[in-house]
């Protein structure tokens, strides 16, 4: 896809022969005749990329079994499950990810269904990530098959600017790993991610700063990062259907009507996104889980176990000087059904008592008589510990909790994590607010 709209000298890159040449009107490469061209201003300053594998699980299965290459393929959890990924052939029948399998098979009865092989997908995802990391240390994975790359200042190392470097990477992934990716390149994460989705599969879209407003204007507000079904309905009810509707308002109005979130939406609607590409942290989540010797439905037993695990998790958070903004409770029932319940978006914390209050409120909703074989708690969405759990006018309890936990922690350092201290913490916390 060729980008138009900017003034000045332009460069055209052929994604097949990987040659950059001065921009012209031709829609095909002068050297090899390929139509797969991408254009950008001379001295391109766009260095933030989003790379997304095309139909990742399905493409891996097709790669590994070439007899499937032209058949509609669904990777998913058997006939009673849902579609994890479907190939582009299956998509022409209307099959989509997250669709119930019976519905997908009604649309496309001839589809081949394969159960997911996560271990294999993780392995392939790592291979691709390591090719990305050869280009820049600033690789921020956002799922198994997609990542942001910041190529700022990498020109000297690669002897090429970001556009050519990325085209080379796409070719390398095709030839060495046998999968295709779609690339979005812009000057911020939001536009890069949006761009990678515009020309799938095997796409390459560059969104220049001057194009951002016009590109975004006709899109539904749901295309803005973080606007899910609920937020979309809320915005629609406020008369905001298209991103252009938000662009038409001034920042103060958006802020007045929709709070801090309104300010964020106003900026993203204009393609303004200051978030940096932050390389993968060593730690993506800190968690603890327990498999019971005997399946249990006993509230007190589950609650006590949960507290012990929250304390373990808190100790690790403190050790790594992290605070979390999200807690996930994991339960596996006696018949192996998995339940996960999460809460996120609270003030960063590393205190066991706070983790426990959140996790316990999630647990209590699940106590429906089911017997559980496994209980787990995990934390994610980390922030620096600095400034966490300081307490404020609204929540004066935090200061007290912090002091108490500090005292328990130092006792533990002296005497070890004894059951007595745990019991103390248990009594001190359970009777409090839900």
Which positions touch Mg ion (CB under 5 A)?
A: 52-53, 56, 145
Cβ of residue 145: shortest distance to Mg ion, in angstroms?
4
What is the CB-side half-sphere exposure of residue 42 using CA atoms within 13 A?
Answer: 8
DSSP 67-111: GGTTS-EEEESTTTSBEEEE-HHHHTTT--TT-BHHHHHHH-TT-
How far is residue 17's CA from residue 285's CA, in Å, rounded to a whole number?
Answer: 42
Residue 1: C-alpha distances to residues 186, 234, 422 (Å): 14, 34, 61
Pick between residue 145 and residue 273 the one whose CB is nearest to Mg ion.
Answer: 145
Pick between residue 104 and residue 375 the one whose CB is nearest to Mg ion.
Answer: 104
Name the residue among 175, 177, 168 with its Cα closest to residue 145: 177
Cβ of residue 82: shortest distance to Mg ion, in angstroms?
17
- Return the structure tokens found at 309: 């695990």
Q: What residues are paired with 119 via a beta bridge?
A: none
Please pick, among 61, 140, 146, 401, the residue that the annotation labels catalytic: 146
Name the residue among 47, 108, 38 with its Cα closest to residue 72: 108
Pick between residue 53 and residue 362 the one whose CB is nearest to Mg ion.
Answer: 53
Q: Are the beta carbons of 165 and 157 closer than 8 angstroms? A: no
How far is residue 271's CA from residue 133's CA, in Å, rounded to a whole number?
Answer: 26
Question: Is 146 known to be catalytic?
Answer: yes
Pick between residue 97 and residue 236 the one whose CB is nearest to Mg ion.
Answer: 97
Cβ of residue 158: shortest distance to Mg ion, in angstroms?
25
Q: In what order do the strands lie in the sheet with 338-349?
A: 286-296, 372-384, 322-333, 338-349
ω into 201 cis (within 30 of 0): yes
Q: Which residues contact 33 (CB under 8 A, 6 or more apart)?
A: none
Pick between residue 52 and residue 150 the one whose CB is nearest to Mg ion.
Answer: 52
Q: Are the beta carbons of 421 and 411 closer than 8 angstroms? A: yes
How far is residue 309's CA from residue 319's CA, in Å, rounded to a whole number?
Answer: 15
**Residue 372: which H helix or E strand, with range?**
strand 372-384
Cβ of residue 146: shortest distance to Mg ion, in angstroms?
5
Pick between residue 145 and residue 405 the one whose CB is nearest to Mg ion.
Answer: 145
Please measure the distance between the N-terminal and C-terminal CA atoms of the chain and give it in whole angstroms: 55
How far is residue 434's CA from residue 426's CA, in Å, rounded to a whole number?
Answer: 14
Pick between residue 197 and residue 295 the one whose CB is nearest to Mg ion.
Answer: 197
Pick between residue 20 and residue 52 the one whose CB is nearest to Mg ion.
Answer: 52
- Return the structure tokens found at 360: 């316990």
Cβ of residue 67: shortest distance to Mg ion, in angstroms?
24
Cβ of residue 54: shortest distance to Mg ion, in angstroms?
6
Q: Are the beta carbons of 347 and 388 closer than 8 angstroms? A: yes
Cβ of residue 182: shortest distance to Mg ion, in angstroms?
8
Give strand ranges (E) for 307-371: 322-333, 338-349
Which residues carry out catalysis? Answer: 146
């Amino acid at each position: 896809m060729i980008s138009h709209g900017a003034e000045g000298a332009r460069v055209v890159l052929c994604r097949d022969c990987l040659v950059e040449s001065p921009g012209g009107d031709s829609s095909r490469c002068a050297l090899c005749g390929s139509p797969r061209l991408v254009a950008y201003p001379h001295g391109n300053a766009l260095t933030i990329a989003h790379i997304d594998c095309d139909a990742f699980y399905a493409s891996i299965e097709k790669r590994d079994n070439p007899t499937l290459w032209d058949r509609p393929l669904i990777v998913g959890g058997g006939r009673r499950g849902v579609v994890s990924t479907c190939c582009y052939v299956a998509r022409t029948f209307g099959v989509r990810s997250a669709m119930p399998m019976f519905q997908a098979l009604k649309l496309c009865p001839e589809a081949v269904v394969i159960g997911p092989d996560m271990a294999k997908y993780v392995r392939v995802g790592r291979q691709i990530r390591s090719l990305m990391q050869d280009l820049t240390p600033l690789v921020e994975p956002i799922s198994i098959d997609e990542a942001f790359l910041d190529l700022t200042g990498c020109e000297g190392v690669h002897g090429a600017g970001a556009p050519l470097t990325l085209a080379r990477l796409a070719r390398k992934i095709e030839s060495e790993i046998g999968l295709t990716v779609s690339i979005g390149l812009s000057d911020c994460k939001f536009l890069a991610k949006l761009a990678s989705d515009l020309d799938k599969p095997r796409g390459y879209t560059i969104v220049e700063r001057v194009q951002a407003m016009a590109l975004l204007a006709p899109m539904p507000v749901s295309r803005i990062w973080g606007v899910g079904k609920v937020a979309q309905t809320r915005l629609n009810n406020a008369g905001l259907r298209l991103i252009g509707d938000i662009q038409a308002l001034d920042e103060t109005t958006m802020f007045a009507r929709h709070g801090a979130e309104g300010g964020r939406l106003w900026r993203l609607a204009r393609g303004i996104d200051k978030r940096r590409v932050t390389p993968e942290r060593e730690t993506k989540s800190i968690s603890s889980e327990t498999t019971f010797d005997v399946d249990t439905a006993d509230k007190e037993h589950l609650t006590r176990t949960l507290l012990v695990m929250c304390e373990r998790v808190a100790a690790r958070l403190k050790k790594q000087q992290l605070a979390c903004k999200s807690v996930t409770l994991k339960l596996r029932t006696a018949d192996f059904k998995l339940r996960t319940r999460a809460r996120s978006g609270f003030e960063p914390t590393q205190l066991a008592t706070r983790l426990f209050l959140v996790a316990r409120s999630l647990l209590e909703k699940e106590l429906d008589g089911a017997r559980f074989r496994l209980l787990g708690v995990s934390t994610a969405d980390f922030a620096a510990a600095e400034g966490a759990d300081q307490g404020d006018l609204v929540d004066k309890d935090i200061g007290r909790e912090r002091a108490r936990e500090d005292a328990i922690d130092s006792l533990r350092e002296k005497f070890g994590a004894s059951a007595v201290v745990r019991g103390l913490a248990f009594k001190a916390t359970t009777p409090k607010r839900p």
